Amino acid sequence: MSRVRDRNNSAWLLPTDGTRTNHRQRREMRRYAESDEVDVVVVGCGAGGATVIQRLARAGFSVVGFDAGPFWDPDTDWVSDEAGSHDLFWTDPRVISGTDPVPLGANNSGRGVGGSMVHFAGYAPRFHPSDFQTATLDGVGADWPINYEDLEPYYQDMEEELPVAGEHWTWGKPHSYPHRPHPVGGNGEVFQRGAEAMGLTAKVGPVATTNGRFGNRPHCIYRGFCLQGCKVNAKASPLITHIPDALAHGAEIRPDSMVSRIAVDDRTGKATGVHYISDGVEHFQRAGTVVVAGYSIETPRLLLNSRSALFPDGLCNNFDQVGRYLMVQGAAQTSGRFESEIRKYKAPPPEVSCEDFYETDPSKPYKRGFSLQTVAPLPVTWSEHLTAQGHWGADLRRRMTDYVHWASFGTLCELLPQADNRVTLDPQTDQHGLPVANFSYSMCDNDRQLLDAAQTTMEEMLRAAGAAETITIKRFAHLVGGARMADDERHGVVDADCRSFAVPNLYITDGSVLPTQGSANPALTIMAVAARAAEGMIKSAQAQSAQT
Amino acid sequence: MTKSPIPYPRFPGFDVMEQAKHWDQVTRELVESRLQPPDGDSFFSLSERAVAATLCDQLTGQHEDPRIPVVQMIETRLAANRTDGWHHADLPPDRRTWQQSLRNLDADAHEAHGTDFPTCSLDQQAQVLTSIQKTSGLWHGLRADEVWNLWMRYVCAAFYSHPWAWNEIGFPGPAYPRGYKNIGMNRRESFEVGQEHPEQGPVPHQ
Ligand SMILES: Cc1cc2nc3c(=O)[nH]c(=O)nc-3n(C[C@H](O)[C@H](O)[C@H](O)COP(=O)(O)OP(=O)(O)OC[C@H]3O[C@@H](n4cnc5c(N)ncnc54)[C@H](O)[C@@H]3O)c2cc1C
Ligand code: SF4
């Protein structure tokens, strides 16, 4: 454990008196003047952004992290309630289009320090080695300019820092987790039973939730509100896993500050800082390097909104790559009715996984695969499962009374990256007058085949576990891509180290850079990629100062 | 505090508010506020509000007082423009879609039954709604399924955030700081209540 602490002291900087926020640390936070040229500004304090802020601050860089949303205090800002958690989500307007439009909001992105991980479920699996080479292996998708081995040490670091709990993992490249698996609730038991009856392997975890104390973070209390923000500090989010250590090393977090445009010097072609709006007033922060980590929708939107003489079609968009190859996982959920009481709201929604179907199966007509996991919709979300079957009125009410009898599973299907699934700017503007993102999404045949196969498997598992009836809701989850890494500027926006091809002092370190998505939940991979990029930035700064 | 007037009493005597003293203050105040008469800003015109109220009654099967104040909760949300953060490219933003669709609903009632939607009989109202739900493609120029889903999304988010609705479905509501100790199939906490007829299926009270 001491090794983690030497690398990242966040968990030990949280209070021990039952409150969740170190207010003193925030009060005494270092503050930079706008006229100072800080070494680095980071746009977005979520999975990718916060990781970079912590790594760079620790290495001695002066860093300011901007977030459009608040600097959360779990004690006073978050509630143990579904509808009351509305403000955790990015609710500024966005337009969705295409033949399979993807609803955003609650289901897809967060706003505020900690980013979407504040309300993420908490699954923290690694990608499989094959995910980095789908073009070579399967003739679909793209090859990454890096491979699994390049990320492996960062996966290990992040699993210790979050920390991740789970059984020994036999899929992908086998590995173990630092924390023991959690006990499972009724929903998890159904999953295990169904898998066993079908001869499949089920494993508990991997979840970014403490099992036992970790630093000053307490044990999970199995209250089931992980998607509403963990008021316990048991579930990981950068707010508690990386920001405290960053503050301790002199980083400044500037919350409630929406970056509207990245400034580029037309003469040098270098980024000079960011324009941002706070309390309705526009400001400018000078910086030596700009890092963008605003999520797969806001990152492309910010680049496209940052037009200049050098970049008339948007920053880094000389080859029309910005916003393209945006991916989302096919995340249908299937539920089954049991005579027994399941009461799936007890215990965290993420409990048990199966990755038996993750890889391409040569006997199937489709490429790539899907994973299966437990999910546990609370009442408002559960009502969506029933309204999706067409129920309303008294019929809906009666069926809802059956809530405690239903178990729910979710799939994550690796839908393929396609150039026309992309973010563009819409004529509609937000409250700051900035054009909003239009996200167009359409599935291909392979995608539909995967979804059908995954749904059938979930239905079979639920029946094998004893379900008398099943229902399915079709949905999507986990956006990545939109500014992908590639070998050159004709195929992507950033290089293997997350440095943009177009602007030498501009980096992108969030989920946008992923060229493929696998069937794994993305947050751990996003953090690993960001940690690797930060190390590259530190090394290149060291090399530069050695030269001068 | 009024006992909840639930018409589908599957969990006899279950009242989540009895546990409110065990919840953290911020959550408790929020949930308790839902039991007070709503005092949010208004958004609908008088006639829109009447149509919206009838629509909400139908969609939630609430035809008598006391009701969960669904329409007021939606109106508060629309007044503050608290959307879910997205809308379909072929649908106007939520506020405009609500207003337009309420007008269209009233027009359908007039066409089919010669009177305002709120003054139609309950059966006539249900008929109007059923035909909208069954429409594939456009309804008064808007995608019928997108409008229907928008209504249901707002209505259910309001209805199932109310403690009376939780009583009806056996959900104990907030769980902080206490959490759960007895997780697993057929295991209950002392404050969770069993069912009168657990053997009954999903449509038990016809
Ligand atoms: C309901 C839900 C459940 C999920 N469950 C899981 C799960 O179990 N496992 C998993 O791995 N993943 C899960 N995810 C996905 C995961 O949370 C995201 O993939 C991940 O957090 C994305 O990281 P990011 O760095 O790209 O962006 P984010 O973490 O979203 O961070 C982006 C940040 O940038 C800020 N920002 C954006 N634009 C600007 C701007 N212009 N100026 C200033 N700030 C800006 C935003 O406010 C936000 O805080 C879930 C997501 C949701 C919504
Ligand atoms: S179940 Fe555990 S991890 Fe999830 S919100 Fe509750 S305490 Fe946090």
SS3 per-residue string spanning A433-475: CCEEEEEECCCCHHHHHHHHHHHHHHHHHHHHCCCCCEEEECC
Q: What is the pLDDT of residues A271-321, one digit of tens each?
A: 999 999 999 999 999 999 999 999 999 999 999 999 999 999 999 999 999
- Nearest atom, ligand 2, residue A348 CA: 1
Contact A233, A120 (CB under 8 A): no
Judgement on whether residues B137 and B75 belong to the same structural domain of the protein: yes
Q: Which residue of A has its CA nearest to B129?
A: A392
Judgement on whether residues B66 and B142 belong to the same structural domain of the protein: yes
Q: What residue owns the CA closest to ligand 1's atom 31?
A: A46
Task: Give dist(CA A278, CA A96) in Å, integer.
Answer: 27
Task: Give dist(CA A395, CA B131) in Å, integer.
Answer: 17
Cβ–ligand 1 contact at A300 (below 6 Å): no
Residue of A80, A95, A189 best to disrupt the B interface, most CBs of B under 10 A: A80
Judgement on whether residues B73 and B153 belong to the same structural domain of the protein: yes
Measure in Å the smallest separation between the Cα of B51 and chain A Cα atoms.
16
Q: Kindly give the distance from the C-alpha atom of residue B7 to the centroid of ligand 1, in angstroms, as a whole number.
A: 41
Judgement on whether residues B144 and B60 belong to the same structural domain of the protein: yes
Measure in Å the smallest separation between the Cα of B114 and chain A Cα atoms.
24
Tell me the three state secondary structure of residue A283.
Answer: strand
Q: What residue owns the CA closest to ligand 1's atom 2?
A: A120
Task: Give dist(CA A266, CA A147) in Å, integer.
Answer: 35
Q: Is the pLDDT of residue B12 over 90?
A: no
Cβ–ligand 1 contact at A509 (below 6 Å): no
Distances A194 to A100, A263, B103, B199 between C-alpha atoms, Å: 31, 55, 49, 22
Q: Kindly give the distance from the C-alpha atom of residue B119 to the centroid of ligand 1, in angstroms, as a whole number.
A: 47
Residue with tokens 């492309």: A300
Measure in Å the smallest separation between the Cα of B160 and chain A Cα atoms.
5
Residue with tokens 């305002």: B116
Q: Are strands A281-292 and A38-43 parallel, antiparallel or unpaired?
A: parallel
Q: Is the dihedral of CA B126, B128, B160, B41 positive or negative?
A: negative
Task: Give dist(CA B90, CA B141) in Å, integer.
Answer: 10
Q: What is the pLDDT of residues A76-120, one digit of tens each?
A: 999 999 999 988 999 888 999 999 999 887 767 899 999 999 999
Give the closest residue to A329 by CA, choosing from A452, A413, A441, A455.
A413
Cβ–ligand 1 contact at A111 (below 6 Å): yes
Q: Name the token pair of A123.
A: 């699954």
Cβ–ligand 1 contact at A299 (below 6 Å): no
Q: Which residue of A has its CA nearest to B82?
A: A91
Say yes or no: A105 contacts chain B, CB-CB below 8 A. yes
Give the global pTM.
0.96
pLDDT category of residue B204 using cuts at 50, 70 and 90: very low
- Nearest atom, ligand 1, residue A67 CA: 44
Task: Give dist(CA B145, CA B138) in Å, integer.
Answer: 8
**Relative orientation angle of helices B94-113 and B122-134, to the nearest 10 degrees:** 120
What pLDDT, on a 0 to 100 scale, did the predictor assign at position B1? 38
Tell me the three state secondary structure of residue A411.
Answer: strand
Residue of B176, B182, B191 best to disrupt the A interface, most CBs of A under 10 A: B176
Judgement on whether residues B128 and B180 belong to the same structural domain of the protein: no
Q: Is the pLDDT of residue B2 over 80?
A: no
Question: Does residue B40 fall inside a structural domain?
Answer: no
Name the helix (H) or strand (E) containing A544. Answer: helix A523-547
Judgement on whether residues B57 and B21 belong to the same structural domain of the protein: no
Say yes or no: A401 contacts chain B, CB-CB below 8 A. yes
Domain that holds residue B28: 16-35+162-200
Q: Name the token pair of A488.
A: 């050159």
Judgement on whether residues B95 and B153 belong to the same structural domain of the protein: yes
Task: Give dist(CA A454, CA B191) in Å, integer.
Answer: 37
Say yes or no: B184 contacts chain A, CB-CB below 8 A. yes
- A residues 51-80 closer than 8 Å to B (CB): 75-76, 78-80
Judgement on whether residues B125 and B169 belong to the same structural domain of the protein: no
Cβ–ligand 1 contact at A350 (below 6 Å): yes
Cβ–Cβ gap A221/B153 under 8 Å: no
Contact A82, A381 (CB under 8 A): yes
Instruction: Choose among B152, B161, B169: nearest Cβ to A83.
Output: B161
Measure in Å the smallest separation between the Cα of A225 and chain B Cα atoms.
8
Cβ–Cβ gap B176/A402 under 8 Å: no
What percentage of chain B carries pLDDT values higher than 90?
Answer: 77
Judgement on whether residues B171 and B130 belong to the same structural domain of the protein: no
Q: What is the pLDDT of residues B120-163, one digit of tens each?
A: 999 999 999 999 999 999 999 999 999 999 999 999 999 999 99
Cβ–ligand 2 contact at A226 (below 6 Å): yes
Judging by beta carbons within 10 Å of its beta carbon (0-12, 13-18, 19+), is residue A273 exposed, middle or buried? Answer: buried
Q: Name the token pair of A508.
A: 């992108």
Cβ–Cβ gap B27/A79 under 8 Å: yes
Beta bridge partners of A333: A410, A473
Judgement on whether residues B20 and B122 belong to the same structural domain of the protein: no
Judgement on whether residues B56 and B116 belong to the same structural domain of the protein: yes
DSSP string, B92-158: --HHHHHHHHHHHHHHHHHHHHSS-GGGS-HHHHHHHHHHHHH--SEETTEEHHHHHHHHHHHHHHH
The whole-angstrom distance between residue A114's C-alpha and the CA centroid of its chain comes to 10
Instruction: Choose among B133, B173, B187: nearest Cβ to A390.
Output: B133
Question: Does residue B102 fall inside a structural domain?
Answer: yes
Task: Give dist(CA B123, CA A98) in Å, integer.
Answer: 37
Q: CB within 8 A of A301, min separation 6: which ones? A: A294, A323, A423, A425, A435, A436, A437
Distances A317 to A279, A310, A441, A504 between C-alpha atoms, Å: 30, 10, 20, 14
- Nearest atom, ligand 1, residue A125 CA: 11
Instruction: Choose among A89, A186, A403: nearest Cβ to B169.
Output: A403
Q: Are strands A95-97 and B87-88 parallel, antiparallel or unpaired?
A: parallel
Q: Last residue of a domain, which of B126, B141, B159?
A: B159
Say yes or no: B55 contacts chain A, CB-CB below 8 A. no
Give A38-547's CATH code, choosing from 3.50.50.60, 3.40.50.300, 3.40.50.10490, 3.40.50.1860. Answer: 3.50.50.60
Judgement on whether residues B177 and B75 belong to the same structural domain of the protein: no
Give the closest residue to A393 by CA, choosing from B23, B89, B53, B55.
B55
Number of domains in chain B: 2
Q: Which residue of B has its CA nearest to A400?
A: B169
Q: Is the pLDDT of residue B39 over 90?
A: no
The whole-angstrom distance between residue A247's C-alpha and the CA centroid of its chain comes to 22
Task: Give dist(CA A530, CA A523) in Å, integer.
Answer: 10
Contact A78, A229 (CB under 8 A): yes
Q: Are strands A281-292 and A476-480 parallel, antiparallel or unpaired?
A: unpaired
Cβ–Cβ gap A392/B89 under 8 Å: no
Q: Are strands A333-337 and A470-473 parallel, antiparallel or unpaired?
A: antiparallel
What pLDDT, on a 0 to 100 scale, did the predictor assign at position A263? 98
| DSSP 8-state assignment for residue A222 | -
Cβ–Cβ gap A225/B176 under 8 Å: yes
Q: Are strands A435-440 and A422-429 parallel, antiparallel or unpaired?
A: antiparallel
Cβ–Cβ gap B174/A79 under 8 Å: yes
What pLDDT, on a 0 to 100 scale, did the predictor assign at position B199? 59
Contact A42, A253 (CB under 8 A): no
Q: Is the pLDDT of residue B201 over 60?
A: no
Tell me the three state secondary structure of residue A191.
Answer: helix
Question: Does residue B206 fall inside a structural domain?
Answer: no
Contact A383, A223 (CB under 8 A): no
Say yes or no: B123 contacts chain A, CB-CB below 8 A. no
3 state SS for A19-64: CCCCHHHHHCCCCCCCCCCEEEEEECCCHHHHHHHHHHHHCCCCEE
Say yes or no: A395 contacts chain B, CB-CB below 8 A. yes
To 5 degrees, how large is the angle CA A498–CA A114–CA A236? 100
Domain ranges of chain A: 38-547
Q: Characterise B197 by phi-psi region: left (phi > 0), alpha (psi -120 to 50), beta (else).
A: beta
Q: Is the pLDDT of residue B73 over 60?
A: yes
The number of beta carbons lying within 10 Å of the beta carbon of residue A438 is 21
Cβ–ligand 2 contact at A225 (below 6 Å): yes
Cβ–ligand 1 contact at A118 (below 6 Å): no
pLDDT in tens, chain A (548 residues): 458 999 999 999 999 999 999 999 999 999 999 999 999 999 999 999 999 999 999 999 999 999 999 999 999 999 999 999 988 999 888 999 999 999 887 767 899 999 999 999 999 999 999 999 999 999 999 999 999 999 999 999 999 999 999 999 999 999 999 999 999 999 999 999 999 999 999 999 999 999 999 999 999 999 999 999 999 999 999 999 999 999 999 999 999 999 999 999 999 999 999 999 999 999 999 999 999 999 999 999 999 999 999 999 999 999 999 999 999 999 999 999 999 999 999 989 999 999 999 999 999 999 999 999 999 999 999 999 999 999 999 999 999 999 999 999 999 999 999 999 999 999 999 999 999 999 999 999 999 999 999 999 999 999 999 999 999 999 999 999 999 999 999 999 999 999 999 999 999 999 999 999 999 999 999 999 999 999 999 999 999 888 87
Ligand 1: which of A327, A478, A525 to mutate, most ligand atoms within 8 Å of CB?
A478
Cβ–ligand 2 contact at A222 (below 6 Å): yes
